[in-house]
A and B are shown apart, each in its own frame.
Chain A
């Protein structure tokens, strides 16, 4: 009894507690950027909070939360638009819907319109009175203002990102290929452009040139001299229309260099890594530059340019690089400076450019580093103040000149050391999310010193159940892979025990890409029958819930490789370990291993088409 009493006394003394040694539950989603909007009347900022499945409105006159709308678990709110009547629209990235809200101040839900499995970009088309929604499945869906159903859905191309209107013309961007696509009023493609290839110094130049960047590169890589490499546009995180009609794209660039599997072996060029931040003028209706698309001098070095904003006047641009946890503000005039610095970023604006600022900037120019974790979105107010959203606390920081005011938001603290690690750039200037944007893949092909050519693997969709990892299956588990790739090749800090637990748990919650909603169901059914037939033998290896038996096999494609999961396969061209098949149809061509890789030589072109349609439905 005395012992018990003693223990109770000790426990009840208010003695201090240590921090938790058990990692907390996984939290949050991969950063997508572009999740804030200032209302046209300038009174409110609307914030999508995909990490907590809610939408917030903050009154900018009082700096208080004005309204909060809770959403369904997994809805993942994203881009926001406002129509001429002040109604607000939110894309539910995983909820597959467009949310209609009465106004920016109250966020009263008036409708939830099913549009496509994965809506991304939004734009208010005042001329036609519709909200246009761009979807990763390739759908472009139009919803009349205030309506409960779409008025139109057309298929444009897979992997759509932003949808934009400049001078009455409709455009969409594609995410991984960083294309700007002009559309006619019926949604038909008029033209495609990508940012020009630029050159970078590199000691390990092999001149792999263009043509392996997902099928869209405009390709001047063959003109890159020895000692230099091509830097090809990829992963268009965010595009916007300036007040003068120019369309600007914040994207990544792939340095087509040799990657080594040694410590720091993913470093490249001038030490900034094989993935850079780029800013390009994709459209210019005015005589600002000689030609478009125009590769502007990158204003900053930093990984993951997930968001970008401009002022009402269009005189300044804020670029958010989540990897460096920095927002860089530069004059729009810098967009006319060509990207001719062979070392890439940090030029063109005179406003910093290190990507590692310590809060020395102002809303007029320079780097803003509020030390509040990973920023995910940025906007300017009507008066030119800069708003930066930090989801973890959560908080919005208002930068007015050199003064910063932190607005604490409701919602409770969010923490995930794996999520943080995934978005943190290392010494070689890249983050996990550089090649695996939004927890998926960049669609790029890389040249390794030992292994040869490898396409970035998708990590979305039940990653924990897909061991062993990498094409050869040589990484037995994710902690081993993290130590090898993040700490060794990327020269990052050794992951902590917590990160070893939390990053896999975080990634496990990233779903495989959803199929397009516009596939022909009859073709899908015919293709499924072919896939499951003993004659084709597809299910010999591609079986089970993930469509893989996890074995290492040689199917005549150039070596022995882990059987990949086919979940979301339609969303991740190019195909095979080296990306040598640009499309799923090409996989059934000469590159695909012939009848060593299933038995499909007997299939007619129509049957191959059905089989491909079925694969696109997975």
Chain B
């Protein structure tokens, strides 16, 4: 129920153009992370998000997962899951970028350093795909996941129970 309410709120905010007043360039449009489809139907769409993080500037929890992934490919799914779960705090890392792809591709790359409003809580979404490469100290993750295209009839979307929602920012992580 909480998810449904949050999701409804998210859509409503989008509809009236609500803004927190923060720098809009710091935002990823939420309807891009969760592509909108027919509101009367619950459908999913495979979406993909590319995230780049400079490990030297990453929070300790993110560093732990980046280093684990570097040493062990089997640990990379945990990194992708963490990044998706904590997207606002990951993007608050200076220099971090995120680029939604595969559904339009017209979204700006987001540079970190600010706070995303409204924060997006993707907790509970398990990535369907996770590819990580390293460019020196930068970890590039390409994360595939199921995005839900409707706010109706998706009480418990997906087998992983995840959904786009508005919530408080995670308490861990943080800015530069």
Note all chain B residues with C-beta closer than 8 A to A392: 64
Q: Chain B CB within 10 Å — which of A14, A371, A373, A413 has the most? A: A371
Closest beta carbon of chain B to A563's beta carbon, Å: 35
Which segment, of B67-75, B94-102, B146-154, faces chain A? B67-75
**Is the pair B64, A20 in contact by a Cβ cutoff of 8 Å?**
no
**Is the pair B132, A413 in contact by a Cβ cutoff of 8 Å?**
no
Minimum CB distance partner of B69 in chain A: A19
**Is the pair B74, A359 in contact by a Cβ cutoff of 8 Å?**
no
Query: Contacts A370-B172, A393-B60 known; A23 to B132 CB distance under 8 Å?
Result: no
Minimum CB distance partner of B77 in chain A: A496
Q: How far is the CA of A395 from the CA of B59 in the complex (A)?
A: 12
Minimum CB distance partner of A407 in chain B: B60
Query: Contacts A18-B133, A19-B132, A392-B64 known; A359 to B172 CB distance under 8 Å?
Result: yes
Which segment, of B12-20, B36-44, B112-120, B134-142, faces chain A? B134-142
Number of interface residues of A (CB under 8 A): 30
**Is the pair A359, B73 in contact by a Cβ cutoff of 8 Å?**
no
Q: How far is the CA of A519 from the CA of B67 in the complex (A)?
A: 47
Q: Chain A CB within 10 Å — which of B68, B71, B75 has the most? A: B71
**Is the pair A18, B71 in contact by a Cβ cutoff of 8 Å?**
no
- A360 an interface residue at 8 Å Cβ cutoff? yes
Q: How far is the CA of A497 from the CA of B74 in the complex (A)?
A: 7
- A24 an interface residue at 8 Å Cβ cutoff? yes
Note all chain A residues with C-beta closer than 8 A to B172: 359, 370-371, 404
Minimum CB distance partner of B79 in chain A: A19
Closest beta carbon of chain B to A370's beta carbon, Å: 6
Q: How far is the CA of A406 from the CA of B132 in the complex (A)?
A: 26
Minimum CB distance partner of B136 in chain A: A14
Closest beta carbon of chain A to B122's beta carbon, Å: 14
Closest beta carbon of chain B to A441's beta carbon, Å: 28
Closest beta carbon of chain A to B163's beta carbon, Å: 17
Which B13-65 residues have C-beta < 8 A from chain A? Answer: 60-61, 63-64
0 or 1 for each of A9-30: is its CB under 8 Å from B? (1 = yes):
0000010111111011000000
**Is the pair B133, A415 in contact by a Cβ cutoff of 8 Å?**
no
- A498 an interface residue at 8 Å Cβ cutoff? yes
Closest beta carbon of chain A to B66's beta carbon, Å: 10
Note all chain B residues with C-beta closer than 8 A to A417: 68, 72, 74-75
- A408 an interface residue at 8 Å Cβ cutoff? yes
Q: How far is the CA of A557 from the CA of B152 in the complex (A)?
A: 63
Note all chain B residues with C-beta closer than 8 A to A408: 60
Number of interface residues of B (CB under 8 A): 24
Note all chain A residues with C-beta closer than 8 A to B71: 19-20, 24, 413, 415
- A601 an interface residue at 8 Å Cβ cutoff? no
**Is the pair A393, B64 in contact by a Cβ cutoff of 8 Å?**
yes
Closest beta carbon of chain B to A357's beta carbon, Å: 10
Minimum CB distance partner of A20 in chain B: B71
- B76 an interface residue at 8 Å Cβ cutoff? yes
Which A383-406 residues have C-beta < 8 A from chain B? Answer: 392-393, 395, 402, 404, 406
**Is the pair B64, A372 in contact by a Cβ cutoff of 8 Å?**
yes
Minimum CB distance partner of A27 in chain B: B71
Closest beta carbon of chain A to B114's beta carbon, Å: 21
Q: Chain B CB within 10 Å — which of A16, A21, A395 has the most? A: A16
Q: How far is the CA of A359 from the CA of B168 in the complex (A)?
A: 12
- B159 an interface residue at 8 Å Cβ cutoff? no
- A324 an interface residue at 8 Å Cβ cutoff? no
B134 CB contact (under 8 Å) in A19, A21, A360, A402: A19
A19 CB contact (under 8 Å) in B63, B72, B135, B170: B72
**Is the pair B61, A415 in contact by a Cβ cutoff of 8 Å?**
no
- B2 an interface residue at 8 Å Cβ cutoff? no
Closest beta carbon of chain B to A21's beta carbon, Å: 5
Q: How far is the CA of A372 from the CA of B61 in the complex (A)?
A: 5
**Is the pair B171, A360 in contact by a Cβ cutoff of 8 Å?**
yes
Note all chain B residues with C-beta closer than 8 A to A497: 74
Q: How far is the CA of A417 from the CA of B77 in the complex (A)?
A: 13
Note all chain B residues with C-beta closer than 8 A to A16: 133-135, 140
0 or 1 for each of A470-502: is its CB under 8 Å from B? (1 = yes):
000000000000000000000000001111000
Note all chain A residues with C-beta closer than 8 A to B74: 23, 417, 496-499
Note all chain B residues with C-beta closer than 8 A to A360: 171
Q: How far is the CA of A404 from the CA of B172 in the complex (A)?
A: 9
B73 CB contact (under 8 Å) in A21, A371, A372, A373: A21
A359 CB contact (under 8 Å) in B133, B134, B171: B171
Q: How far is the CA of A256 from the CA of B170 in the complex (A)?
A: 39
Note all chain B residues with C-beta closer than 8 A to A496: 74
Q: How far is the CA of A393 from the CA of B61 in the complex (A)?
A: 9
Note all chain B residues with C-beta closer than 8 A to A404: 171-172
B170 CB contact (under 8 Å) in A359, A395, A402, A415: A359
Note all chain A residues with C-beta closer than 8 A to B69: 19
Q: How far is the CA of A18 from the CA of B64 in the complex (A)?
A: 17
Q: How far is the CA of A417 from the CA of B69 in the complex (A)?
A: 11
- A358 an interface residue at 8 Å Cβ cutoff? yes
Q: Give residues in B with beta carbon < 8 Å to A.
A: 60-61, 63-64, 67-76, 82, 132-136, 140, 170-172
Q: What are 28 A-B pairs with beta-carbon distances under 8 A?
A: A16-B134, A18-B133, A18-B134, A19-B72, A19-B76, A19-B134, A20-B70, A20-B73, A23-B74, A24-B71, A358-B170, A360-B171, A370-B60, A370-B61, A371-B61, A371-B82, A372-B61, A373-B64, A392-B64, A393-B63, A404-B172, A406-B60, A413-B67, A415-B67, A415-B68, A417-B68, A417-B74, A499-B74
What are the 3 A-B residue pairs with the smallest beta carbon separation, nearest first? A16-B133, A498-B74, A496-B74
